[in-house]
Structure formats: structure tokens, C-alpha cells
Amino acid sequence: MVARRRAFCFFCAVTLAALALSARIVAQQALPSTEPETQSPRLPSRSERIVNPTRLMVKPAPGASLEEIAAAHARAGGEVVRDLPQIGWQVVAVPYGRHLAVREAYRAEAAIDRADLDRARRLAYVPNDPYWAYHWHLQNITADLAWNTVKGDPRVVVAVMDTGLDTNHPDLSGNAWTNSGEIAGNGIDDDSNGYVDDVHGYDFAYLDGDPNDVYGHGTACAGIVAATQDNSIGVTGVAPLCQVAGIKASNDSGYFYDSANVPAFIYCADMGFKVISMSFFADDVTPAERDAVDYCAQHDVVLVAAAGNSLSVIPYYPGAYENVIAVAATDSANNPTWFTDYGSWVDVAAPGVGIATTTLGNGYTTGFAGTSASTPHVAGLAGLLFAANPSATARDVRAALEDTADATIYAPWGEYTNYGKIDCDAAVDRVRKVTYGSKAARLLFVAPVGGTRAPDPTLAPRDPRNSFRFFGVGFEQPNNVRPHSAKRVLPVFGQSRREVVCARRSLSSPSGGAFGPTVTLGVNGTTVGSFQWDDGPGSTYAPTDVGTYGATVTGDFFDIYRVDGALLTCGASGSSVYCEMPVRKVAERAPTKLTFDFTRAYSNTTAGTETLYVYDWSTWSYPYGSFAVVWSRPITGATMEHVSTSITTHAANYLDDEGTIYCVLSTSGVGSGGQLQADAFRVTAEE
């Protein structure tokens, strides 16, 4: 494959409330408790997160006598320290750290109507930076609440892998990382790391120790991560006490070549940087880059990347790698921006329009935008989390920021990111173990959904080609995942946050026969989804996401993965219907045959031409190469029809190196109000 260029994201278009204590307060100081309120797996609300470990709020039952109330207090182990007769409540002292147990004891008392925890409220911190009035985006992600707990740590370095860094900017110079092992300007590799004069980072595009920012994009991203707070000038970053390293991987025209990206990743990992912020996105998978990303993950680095600005469900990289957090963009109303990419490969969201940050020439802007702007919000939060819990691992940090995110639900897309919009305050509480629990489990898709069940004896038993996999969220241990079919529990030999793996042979009956089961996935006793396996040759897959432009798609993977009468619909924009249908997680990377099956009808139209395209990676990297026409035929109207065709010549050219087939359906000449009604779209890969 020819060398490619990468374009970065454009569109640069109560401190704790005082706890009142009476004269009878116990001698021990009441610090906020970090204990969970219950032992259930749910995530507590914010009001449950910080409570007084020596107090309860108790309301006696109406009609209870003073003697009955006093006896109830004695049995439960509480002591009244303040009466509030106007509203019928009492403040009750309890032994330090016994607030949960005593509350449960009160619940068994007939003379007590209720007993509640003594919850704390927090004021949002307001810095003196004059652009604070424009920092709606930091308040939107509760960074100001998180600052009451932590503002970062200079020992935590966030690498901004971008167009460079203006280390002389007055809002960045104080937080620019300095390599203590290097002597500036002496032309010597003082710390013997292979890089000369890498004092504040390195320029991997032009191979020198000065990550100077000519374009300005990296300086804007760095300001969102860690602009200095409370210096009475400019803006503040999400993690204002963390440091930023300038990792210049882009040339001065804004292109990121693999020959710069790959060594930049390795440098960040080897230098011990905790987070990498990557506000760029591109097309193809580069195996060398993927290995470098995995190298960073193995070295406990959190990687954060822009999802992209194409309003597309087609995966972009590096965001779509499993070891990278892909970030979508939201607006001030918490809706997706008009340009953000979305789908099952996008993990979280953050504000991406009207962002206040630093610019070249010691300046500022209030108009930075794009998933470029969203990404450093998430990277800054990752820096906060490492500062809040120095013993946290990259896995801990990722779980904290993902599992506490607020659901991003937007009609008709539904949940357009896997976990939601980040919540800094909640994530800080989570990484400090004030709260607990994982995201509610959701099943997004299954791969494959059909094919041969007999294991290939030439492959390892756990090879992806001998298995089927559930993909979603909330699958991590200690959650109890339970795939089952016909009352028979299927063995699980792989379980992670996003994936549950079963052997295909487990779909056969105990006597060895196949019975075409419906497979149901349960998590912690709750059914989260099911699918029907269809026998056939090879492996059969369905689109993991469906997207369009200027119209509406209704439905998801489970409406299109097989012929069952459940319909996915896509409206027309003007006189055409356009659908992007990426098929992800194809295990067969060297297929000799790809068969495309489409069962569909069109309403409100009897004319026009339907064409199915599949991207041919041998022509160039996406989107600079060519789509191949799989079929092109006239529309016949409202009758449900089945179309099938196969590619048998160089079939492997139609998969990227992550196992994704990029399918696009384009229908021209449809009538006013025309609509595609798809019952199934399937791709079968045979090796």
C-alpha cells in the first residue's frame, strides 16, 4: 500500500459545606466518608458521593411517643444532637464510620419514619482567569467541581501529540514539561535517550529538539489540557497543575506521517508520560502505528484521540483502535455537533464548539472547535485522574472516566457513544474509590452472526475464526456474564470491558447436532440482548453501524443482521438515499470470497438506481482511493427483494487491517419522500 498522509481535525472553526456541629460533637473530626452507600452494583448519584461519617438525618414517625423515639435511638446506636421540631427532623451523632450500619438499624424501627445520610454539598471553584466567563465547556464537564478535590500534579505529564507547542505562551510556559536530564542548547543527548536537546519535547516531523508550533493547533489543544490557572490572565485548562509535553508529529502544513507518528508514540511511552492527546484522525490502519499504540498501552499510557469531523460512522484511526479512547464532540446543549463522527467505535464525548483556549502570539480564542477540541478535554481529565490517585493504572483511569460518563442519547441515533459525555467530578470520585460500579451493560453487536460451527483443526481453539463475540459495554469482571441457549449456559473463554467470547462449537447440542439456537446474553441476572445464529459456509457478519447525511436512519444492528421482519429504515435526502454500512470485526483477514446479501424494499418510489459500493484498499487509503461497484440495478418498488453477489478476485483487498469492510449504498432517482426499508444486510467471508 502506498504511503499516506493524515489530516488533523479542522473546524478550528461547596468547597465542602461546613458541617454544623453542636456542643456535644464527638471529639473525632468528621472527614467526608469514602464508603459506598450500599453494596449494590449500581453507580451512586452525585448526592451520595460525599457524606459525613459521624452524622445521620433522622425523621421520627408521625404519632410516635417521645419514649418510643428515645428507645429507637438507643437500640440503633444514635444520639440526638439537634432537634428541628419545625420540620420534624433530628440530627443524630453516630460512631465514626458506622453511619451505614446505624442507618440500616433505624430502618427496622417502627418509631422512625426514615434515616438518611448527612450529605455534603460543594461549591464550584471559580478561578481568577478572565476568560472564565467563556469556559462554559469546563463547567459543562464539571471540571470546576473536580478542582475542589484535585487540580492536577506536575509529576503527571500529558503529551500533546500535535503540530507543536508554544512553550513561551504566558499561560503555558509554567506548565511546559522540562526534561530534567537534558541541558538546553548544548547539542548533546545528555540523558542518552536517543534525542538531542529534547528539553520540552521533540519535533518528530523535522527531527530536532524544538517542538515549535507554526500551525497553532497544538498550542490550542495544550491550553485545554493544562493552561495555568489563577494567574489573572487568559484561560485555564482541565488539569491546571499537570504538565504538557510538546510532541510535534505534524509537519507545518498539518499532516501527520507514520514515519513521525510511530517514533513519537514510542518516545512518549519510554519517557513515562501518562497520557497522550491526539487531536487528529485519518483513514487507514497502519500496522506499525497499531503496534506503537499497543506499546504505549503496555507501558500504562492512556491514549485519547479525536473521532473525526465527517458526520460519519465509518471508523477513523487512531481513535478506532481498541487501546485508544475515541472522542466525539458535543455542543452547549449536550447534543452531538453537526460534524462529529459517532458509532460503536466511539467511546466518549466532550464539548467541541466555542472553546476558549490559547493561540499563537500569546493570544486567546473563544472559537476553537472540532473533535480536535473535544479530545484534550478528555486527555486533561485523564491527567486529573492520575493526580487524584497516583497508584492508579491506565486501566483504572480509563474505567473511571468512561464508567462515570453521562449517557449521550440523541434521536434518532440513540446512544451515539459507548459511554457518554465525560463528568470530571464523578470520574475523580471514582478513581479515588469514593464510588464504585460499572456502566450498565449494553449489547451493541455480535460478530459473526452465522457460518460454520465446526472448529477449524488448523487453528488454535481460541482463534477468532473459531469463536463468536458479543461487543458492548459493561462486560468487565466482576460482572457476571452468562451467554445461554435453550437453557444451556455457554462457556466463556474471554471477558473484557467491551467483549465476551464464546467458542462456535458451543452452539451445537450436547449430542453433537446443530439446532440453530437463539443465544441470549445475561449480565448480573439481566438480559441485555440476544441473536439468532444462522448456519452456513465461512462466517457471516452484519453492519455494526449505519449512518447517512441529510436524512434519518432508524434502527440498528439488530434490525439488519438477519431476515426476520425487523426493518432498518433510511430516508432520502433530495432524490437519493445514502447509507454508510461499515462491517467491523471480520476475523477472516485473507478471504478468498466475500458474498453480499441484501434484503430490502423502497417505499414512495418506483424509479431510480441502487448501487452498492465496497472500498478497495488496493487503490489507496480511505478516502483517497476508489470504491468498487458490487452491484447496480433498477429499483422495483415496495416489494421486499433479495439481492446477492460475490467477490472472488482479490477479496482481501476489501478489508482494512482491523477487519473492517466499508460498504456504502447509494440510490439515485428516488421519489419525494422515498425511503429504504432494509430487512437484512450480510457479508459472508470464506477463506
* 199-249 confidence digits (pLDDT tens): 999 999 999 999 999 999 999 999 999 999 999 999 999 999 999 999 999
Q: Answer yes or no: do 427 and 492 share one domain.
A: no
The one-letter code for the residue type at 132 is: W
Rounded mean pLDDT, 248-268? 93
Q: Answer yes or no: do 91 and 173 share one domain.
A: no
Q: 102, 120, 138: which is the final residue of a domain? A: 120
Position 438 in a domain: no
| DSSP bridge partners of 108 | none
Q: Give strand ranges (E) for 481-616.
A: 481-485, 488-489, 492-495, 499-503, 518-523, 526-532, 534-535, 539-541, 553-554, 568-571, 576-583, 593-603, 609-616
pTM: 0.86
Helix (H, G, I), strand (E, B) or coil at 402: helix
Q: Answer yes or no: do 98 and 220 share one domain.
A: no
DSSP character for 567? -
The one-letter code for the residue type at 6 is: R
Q: Answer yes or no: do 88 and 165 share one domain.
A: no
Q: What does residue 604 show for φ and ψ, rounded to 5 degrees?
A: 60, 25
* Pick from 486, 495, 590: nearest CA to 538: 590
DSSP character for 465? G
Reported as a single tens digit per residue, the pLDDT across 532-585 is 999 999 999 999 999 999 999 999 999 999 999 999 999 999 889 999 999 999
Q: Answer yes or no: do 96 and 160 share one domain.
A: no
The one-letter code for the residue type at 539 is: S
The parent domain of residue 104 ranges over 46-120
273 pLDDT above the threshold of 50: yes
Q: Answer yes or no: do 352 and 294 share one domain.
A: yes
Q: 414, 431, 448: which is the final residue of a domain? A: 431
372, 438, 539, 576: the active-site residue: 372
Query: Do residues 219 and 360 lie in contact, with contact meaning Cβ atoms separated by under 8 Å?
Result: yes
Residue 276: all three cell numbers together: 497522550
The answer to whether residue 162 is catalytic is yes
Position 96 in a domain: yes
Per-residue confidence (pLDDT) for residue 459, from 0 to 100: 85
Residue 540: all three cell numbers together: 457471516
Higher per-residue confidence, 62 vs 508: 62
Helix (H, G, I), strand (E, B) or coil at 287: helix
Query: Do residues 89 and 59 lie in contact, with contact meaning Cβ atoms separated by under 8 Å?
Result: yes
Per-residue confidence (pLDDT) for residue 477, from 0 to 100: 93
DSSP character for 346? -
Give just the sign of the alpha carbon dihedral 468, 655, 318, 265: positive
* Alpha-carbon span 685 to 483, nearest angstrom: 25
Q: What does residue 382 show for φ and ψ, rounded to 5 degrees?
A: -60, -40
What is the separation, in whole angstroms, between the first and last Cα of the chain? Answer: 22
Position 22 in a domain: no
Give 548's contacts (C-beta < 8 A, 6+ positions apart): 570, 571, 573, 577, 578, 579, 580
Q: Answer yes or no: do 254 and 345 share one domain.
A: yes
Q: Answer yes or no: do 570 and 623 share one domain.
A: yes
DSSP character for 108? T
Position 259 in a domain: yes
Average pLDDT over the chain, rounded to an integer: 89
Query: Do residues 124 and 144 lie in contact, with contact meaning Cβ atoms separated by under 8 Å?
Result: yes
Residue 59's domain is classified under what CATH number? 3.30.70.80
18 pLDDT above the threshold of 60: no
Measured CA distances, 529 to 417, 475, 501, 543, 564 (Å): 18, 13, 15, 17, 16
Reported as a single tens digit per residue, the pLDDT across 394-430 is 999 999 999 999 999 999 889 999 999 999 999 999 9
Residue 293's domain is classified under what CATH number? 3.40.50.200
DSSP character for 127? -
Rounded mean pLDDT, 492-502? 95
Q: Answer yes or no: do 546 and 529 share one domain.
A: no
pLDDT band at 284 (very low <50, low <70, confident <90, very high): low
Q: Rg of the chain's alpha carbons, rounded to an integer?
A: 28
Helix (H, G, I), strand (E, B) or coil at 425: helix
* Pick from 10, 416, 549, 55: nearest CA to 253: 10
Poorest-pLDDT segment among 63-77, 118-132, 161-175, 441-455: 118-132
Report the share of the chain in percent with pLDDT over 70.
91
Crossing angle (nearest 10°) for helices 217-226 and 371-388: 40
* Alpha-carbon span 340 to 468, nearest angstrom: 31
The CB density around residue 555, as the number of other CB atoms within 10 Å, is 17
Q: Answer yes or no: do 91 and 164 share one domain.
A: no
Query: Do residues 489 and 404 lie in contact, with contact meaning Cβ atoms separated by under 8 Å?
Result: no
Query: Do residues 597 and 643 lie in contact, with contact meaning Cβ atoms separated by under 8 Å?
Result: yes
Residue 468: all three cell numbers together: 463468536
* Pick from 132, 156, 153: nearest CA to 144: 132
Position 28 in a domain: no
73, 135, 137, 217: the active-site residue: 217
176 pLDDT above the threshold of 50: yes
The one-letter code for the residue type at 570 is: C
Position 441 in a domain: no
Position 571 in a domain: yes
Query: Do residues 552 and 571 lie in contact, with contact meaning Cβ atoms separated by under 8 Å?
Result: yes
Q: Answer yes or no: do 508 and 582 share one domain.
A: no
| DSSP bridge partners of 646 | 595
Per-residue confidence (pLDDT) for residue 374, from 0 to 100: 98
Reported as a single tens digit per residue, the pLDDT across 337-381 is 999 999 999 999 999 999 999 999 999 999 999 999 999 999 999
* Alpha-carbon span 522 to 524, nearest angstrom: 7
Per-residue confidence (pLDDT) for residue 38, from 0 to 100: 34
Rounded mean pLDDT, 13-30? 25
Total domains, the chain? 4
The one-letter code for the residue type at 268 is: C
Q: 517, 535, 553: which is the final residue of a domain? A: 535
Helix (H, G, I), strand (E, B) or coil at 397: helix
Helix (H, G, I), strand (E, B) or coil at 413: coil
Rounded mean pLDDT, 77-84? 94
The CB density around residue 30, as the number of other CB atoms within 10 Å, is 18
| Host H or E run for residue 92 | strand 89-93
DSSP character for 176? B
Position 312 in a domain: yes
The answer to whether residue 372 is catalytic is yes
| Host H or E run for residue 72 | helix 66-76
Per-residue confidence (pLDDT) for residue 39, from 0 to 100: 32
Query: What's the CA dihedral at 96, 36, 386, 383 to 10 degrees?
Result: -120
The CB density around residue 538, as the number of other CB atoms within 10 Å, is 21
Burial of residue 373, with CB atoms counted within 10 A of its CB: 0-12 exposed, 13-18 middle, 19 or more buried: buried
Residue 438: all three cell numbers together: 460499572
129, 153, 162, 203: the active-site residue: 162
Report the share of the chain in percent with pLDDT over 90.
78
The one-letter code for the residue type at 338 is: W
Q: Answer yes or no: do 208 and 59 share one domain.
A: no
The one-letter code for the residue type at 406 is: D
* Pick from 428, 358, 371, 360: nearest CA to 400: 428
